[in-house]
Amino acid sequence: MPETAECHHDLHTSGKQVIDVALVGNPNAGKTTVFNALTGLRQKVSNYPGVTVEKITGFLEDQPGSRIRIHDLPGLYSLVPKSLDDKIASDVISSRSDQVDNLRLTVVVADASNLNRNLYLLTQVVELGLPVLLALNMMDAARANGLQIDVAALTKKLNIKVVPLIANRGQGINELKDAIRHLVKQSGNHSPPAGILVDGALGQVVHPVTIWIKNHSQLSDEACRYEAVRVVSNDSAVENWRAIPHEHSQQGYTTLLAKVQEARQQIETNGSQWAMLETQLRYQWVDEICRDAVKQGTARQGLSEKLDRILTHKVAGPILFLLIFAFIFQSIFTWAQVPMDAIDGFVTWVGAHVGAALPGWILPDLKDLLVNGVIGGVGAILVFLPQILFLFFFLSLLEDTGYMARVAFIMDRFMRGTGLTGRSVIPLLSSFACAIPGIMATRTISNARNRLVTIMIAPLMSCSARLPVYALMIGAFIPQKSVLAIFSLPGLTLLGMYLLGILGAIGAATVFKWFMNKNTRPPTFVMELPPYRLPSLKWTLLQVTERAKIFVTDAGKIILAISIVLWFMAYYPRPSAGTLPSQAIKQSYAGQLGHFIEPTIKPLGFDWKMGVALITSFAAREVLVSTMATIYNVEGANETSQSLRDKLRSERDPETGQAVYTPLVSISLMVFFVFACQCMSTVAVVRRETNSWRWPMIMIIYMTSLAYVASFVVYQGSKLLGLG
């Protein structure tokens, strides 16, 4: 490995060079448990530059000054990348990533109770030429499944160090640490591990390709044979050689193509499929290893399959799924309300006290900026935190137990029409509480296109911040009439708003699918249903706090900036002394802007005051209520306030003398809020999760257009039909 400048820097400051060790393994192999045991939960979470894949590192828990840095890479089944996560992991251990300077060892964590498929990845990793260590985790689960694993035979067969583990009980961790320390010291002179065999008849078939690769690279003989197998079985592997310059040789890329074609034809003639060559070879090798090292005794009937008889049962499965999520949402709405109110109260208290404590000589403008702009802005971030923490806590628990995979299994068929898969269900359901944790939860979606579509439609799910708006409008303008004896008109209106959001999301997903279809792979649904496991509370809490930190720091900065801008617009220019607050808002920049956009929103039935509310509620939807309250000069209004409702009802157009708010206007306004992207926190999170301004911009544009068109159709359509 070439040493980078940073490495030298480390060398000078600490006296010891940092040695990198990569931890890879299949998802659900207990890789993270092993990582935590090695590093003592002292992890550092950052992002790989340019992507949203989390980079998790920690130093080997060791004598002070240990410089062995462990990289917990995303779980993957194969080095052929399927998702962004896979690509990162694959790049790091193939030494293609500049994020890891001094990689000396790859530790493959395998689930001993599922050894066969877990070893597939190992067959690929050993070909990379670095020392490899096999950490055989969950030995207890293997025993329970009736598997007897002969570690000595496995070591001999693979020619690498194998350490058996029960990581969640800490068994074997010291041996693993010793093995890592030992292996990183003697790098360079390890005897090569055993890999797949490319010999005999097969060796003959791929020989011409092997020779071509040999002549066009500096790879070892062994590596050339492996690459030849990859190239013969995989078109994209052939493609990788197109970019290699061939100036010193007449035999260019076209020659390679011809040789590959010939090898493939020969394989077909022998009655096999060339596209299966590589995988079949690997699994043949894996089967051979397992034949020698694993004895299958009598297995107990799997607990997981028994649990699944209920949890994925035709009838009970969906019912339990709904009950579990009803419980989670209930907790987000009710339990989170207490800390949310506390935070809200605390922020107001701090604001008031800071305001009072500031010395008199400070400009009133500065004081207002501090109290309403900065502290109010920070409050807007913090008030969402309890909901985010609750949701993440439950989602993390469900993920760690293995239930999440069952949710995807149950709901996949339902999602089919939108072009999405079952994996999008959780983020979308979460978005009914709040789109922010919902969008952050899309990371579990491996298909990049599906992840993006899910992010883009998540804010169309009616979140809890829309409730105050719906509550105000329905309470004021929708008459309490019963429908079909059991339903009430206000209740049905509310339901209608939620359904409208879902319909919009389905429509938007279909359109996005159509737009993005061109050069991305179609979504597939090939998903492991891992055995149910007890989650670790400590680890879950750690994950929740990490996510919370990221939310507050990253999204918080943007929210704060926008808050200050909105504050400025509502505060300036300063009115003369004695002006009523409702007059002041009319003269402010926000008020002027409201007047400016009035002609645009007039066809939706809105006047300039609603325009102001639309502008300020871009910060957050519920700001609409407080803005309206300011404009109509109702002190201390909230969404159930009778006086604000009365004010709205009695508001008259100064020219025509007709009511400004009719039930139709209120519906038009609600429809606007169903679709409009009125939430800067969401914009900030989308910016973070997609790492560009492109998608948040597209989101604002498409959602606002959708909102406008929908409100226009509702308002003008009803007018045409003579309603309202």
Partner 1 sequence: MIALEQLKIGESATIQTVMNQAPDMGQLLEMGLTPGTRVRLVKFAPLGDPLELEVRGYHLSIRCSEARSILVKRDLSQQVA
> How far, in Å, CA of 642 to CA of 610, rounded?
19
Nearer residue to partner 1 within complex by CB, 211 or 502: 502
Nearer residue to partner 1 within complex by CB, 374 or 516: 516
Q: Give the residue carrying structure tokens 């070879």.
A: 281
Nearest C-alpha neighbor of 418 from the set 501, 510, 502 = 510
Min dist CB 352 to partner 1, Å, is: 54
Min dist CB 535 to partner 1, Å, is: 19
Nearer residue to partner 1 within complex by CB, 147 or 494: 147
Nearer residue to partner 1 within complex by CB, 276 or 352: 276
Question: Quick one: angle between helices 151-158 and 277-293, nearest 10?
Answer: 140
SS3 430: helix
Min dist CB 409 to partner 1, Å, is: 5
> How far, in Å, CA of 454 to CA of 460, rounded?
10
Instruction: Write down how long the chain is.
Output: 724
Provide CB contacts within 8 A for 563, sequence distance 6+. Answer: 373, 374, 376, 377, 380, 619
Min dist CB 305 to partner 1, Å, is: 7
For partner 1, the binding residues (CB under 8 A) are: 77-78, 80, 82, 113-117, 120, 145, 234, 273, 275-276, 279-280, 283, 304-305, 308, 312-315, 317-318, 405, 408-410, 412-414, 416, 422, 521-522, 524-531
Min dist CB 129 to partner 1, Å, is: 22
Pairing of strands 103-111, 54-59: unpaired
- Per DSSP (E only), the strands in 150-257 are 161-164
Nearer residue to partner 1 within complex by CB, 175 or 412: 412
Nearer residue to partner 1 within complex by CB, 27 or 252: 27
Provide CB contacts within 8 A for 216, sequence distance 6+. Answer: 241, 244, 246, 249
Nearer residue to partner 1 within complex by CB, 523 or 696: 523
> How far, in Å, CA of 450 to CA of 458, rounded?
12
Nearer residue to partner 1 within complex by CB, 44 or 291: 291
Contacts 24+ apart (CB under 8 A), 408-412: 408/525, 408/527, 409/312, 409/527, 409/529, 410/312, 410/317, 410/318, 410/321, 411/321, 412/525
Encoded amino acid at 416, one letter: R
Nearer residue to partner 1 within complex by CB, 40 or 146: 146
Min dist CB 233 to partner 1, Å, is: 9
Min dist CB 315 to partner 1, Å, is: 7
Nearer residue to partner 1 within complex by CB, 291 or 557: 291
What's CA 134's distance to the chain center, in Å? 29
Min dist CB 524 to partner 1, Å, is: 4
> How far, in Å, CA of 478 to CA of 666, rounded?
8
Min dist CB 426 to partner 1, Å, is: 15
Q: Give the residue carrying structure tokens 């709040």.
A: 434
Element (H, E) at 338: helix 337-357
Alpha carbon of 529 to those of 68, 138, 271, 406, 534: distances in Å?
34, 17, 33, 7, 15
What are the backbone dihedrals phi and psi of residue 620, each rounded to the nearest 5 degrees, phi first? -165, 145
> How far, in Å, CA of 146 to CA of 578, rounded?
84
> How far, in Å, CA of 310 to CA of 297, rounded?
27
Min dist CB 411 to partner 1, Å, is: 8
Min dist CB 278 to partner 1, Å, is: 8
Q: How many CB atoms lie within 10 A of CB 610?
A: 26
Min dist CB 396 to partner 1, Å, is: 22
DSSP letter string, 242-260: TTS--TT-S--HHHHHHHH
Nearer residue to partner 1 within complex by CB, 115 or 183: 115
Nearer residue to partner 1 within complex by CB, 322 or 541: 322
